[in-house]
Amino acid sequence: MQPLASMATRRGLLLVLVVALCEVSALGRTPLWDGNIMMPTGEGHKGEEGTRWAILIAGSAGYWNYRHQADVCHAYQILKRGGLKDENIIVFMHDDIAYHPENPYPGTIINKPDGPDVYQGVPKDYTGSDVTVSNLYAAILGDKSAIEGGTGKVVDSGPNDHIFIYYSDHGGPGVLGMPNPPNLYADDFVGILKKKAAAGTFKELVIYLEACESGSIFEGLLPEGLNIYVTTASNAVESSWGTYCPGMYPSPPSEYGTCLGDLYSVAWMEDTEKENLKKETLEDQYLIVKSRTSNHNTYRSGSHVMQYGDLKIDVEELERYLGFDPANENVTKPGLSELSPVNSDIVTHVPQREADLVHLKHKFYNAKKGSLREANAASELAKTILHRRHLDDSVRLIGELLFAGEDALQKLGAVRPAGSVVVDDWACLKNMVRIFEASCGPLTQYGMKHMRAFANICNAGINSSRMSLASLEVCKISTSVDLGIWSPVTSGFSA
């Protein structure tokens, strides 16, 4: 045993050391310990950093919409490499592409020319008829009791968690498509986000949204202060763009016959795959994606990538939301790519709403002359074009009846100032769409572009009775061609 005097001396020295450290701290100097090292109950403890969650949604069906499910499958692979667990990644996709008869390599999906298979291992959480708006909302809110079908997986998040939501499909002013009706309306979606925020079940939430007029989902609706940050592929009045399409540069292998990806989507994902996400911030990626999606801000093709919500979040590293791939550990801080010379005659991208026509034309021109495949492709292409004409003419004629003036088209297409909500009465908008479809048939993914017309009918104070009469009058004579029945499962017309 040590002498008592020696033990007392050591205790005295320890007391002197403690006092000295306290004096250094009081003088505002840096203490000699690491302030991040705390007890398990401390604020900085690793166990309090929270969990990463992700919801990935492909809102379409049909082979000509191949790119949307390819986008979502690619996003899953990125998150998986980033360290997110399957239990924390929720996937919504119709799952009719990998084994579609048109797919030249059954059981595989690619997202760029000669790219890797991104389908393997993707969770089948909500597929087929289970890909619905109600299931999506329940998954976001963590409400298992409201789920119908699927795996029942939801975002069971806590106050320290980070959530990433990615959506890819067609859209229109104030609306996003889904493979099963009804579509997703902006007011309902933002309402769900507000409810999630009020519940205090996340620290921060980030949304990447690929769709035409995707900015309209948040303009005038998403307030600051919810700890939600959003980027969209386009502003509130323009199309988003498909890429890696047949006949364009770069083109997919000829046997695919459809666009493999969406421009904004592949921009953020291909950037993510080559960067160190511990160093790249949301703002860094926004600027890189904005440049690529706008063709280096020339807008020779492409759209305006937008930001909404709490922009202060964009200083944070992407690793908080997408995880981290150790393979990129040594990558330096990201930077914008140089503007490369592009022949203006080369078509590199296609507006989203034209991508189905690109597929159908490719299918027709590459079919054996005189074959049944050629005849079917010609019929499908003709029906699609006629259906578009039917929708366009019907909306125009209804507008002329309702506004009874030469400026009817201007009133139908009027755009409110930037930052304004697209419609004042969302219930009216939804009702006008139902009235139109009851007389004129489904809007389909193409017809969503007319949502602004229906919004302006509501904004003009026109009631449902007048809309019903006009729709009945117009659509009983607007087409004499039997187009068949539109199928949301195949995204085409059945006989």
**Structure-token pair, residue 266:** 């592949």
402 in Cβ contact with 464 (< 8 Å): no
Pick the catalytic residue: 170, 304, 359, 362?
170
31 in Cβ contact with 25 (< 8 Å): yes
- How far is the C-alpha of 154 from the C-alpha of 144, rounded, in Å? 6
Pick the catalytic residue: 94, 162, 212, 428?
212
- How far is the C-alpha of 412 from the C-alpha of 187, rounded, in Å? 21
Distance (Å) of CA 333 to CA 77, 162, 193, 276 = 23, 23, 32, 7
Which residues on neighbouring strands pair with residue 383, listed in sequence order? none
* H or E segment and range at residue 308: strand 306-309
Is 245 catalytic? The answer is no
**Structure-token pair, residue 213:** 């007029």
Is 73 catalytic? The answer is no
Measured in whole angstroms, the distance separating CA 476 from the mean position of its chain's CA atoms is 37
- How far is the C-alpha of 401 from the C-alpha of 426, rounded, in Å? 23
Q: What torsion, rounded to 10 degrees, do the Cα atoms 425, 430, 435, 441 define?
A: 150
CB-count burial class (<10 Å; 0-12, 13-18, 19+) for 481 = exposed
Residue 126 backbone phi and psi in degrees, to 5? -135, 110
Distance (Å) of CA 76 to CA 10, 157, 179, 192 = 59, 19, 20, 23
- How far is the C-alpha of 301 from the C-alpha of 240, rounded, in Å? 10
Q: Kindly tell me the sign of the dihedral angle through the C-alpha atoms of 327, 332, 333, 339.
A: negative
- Which residues belong to the active site? 170, 212
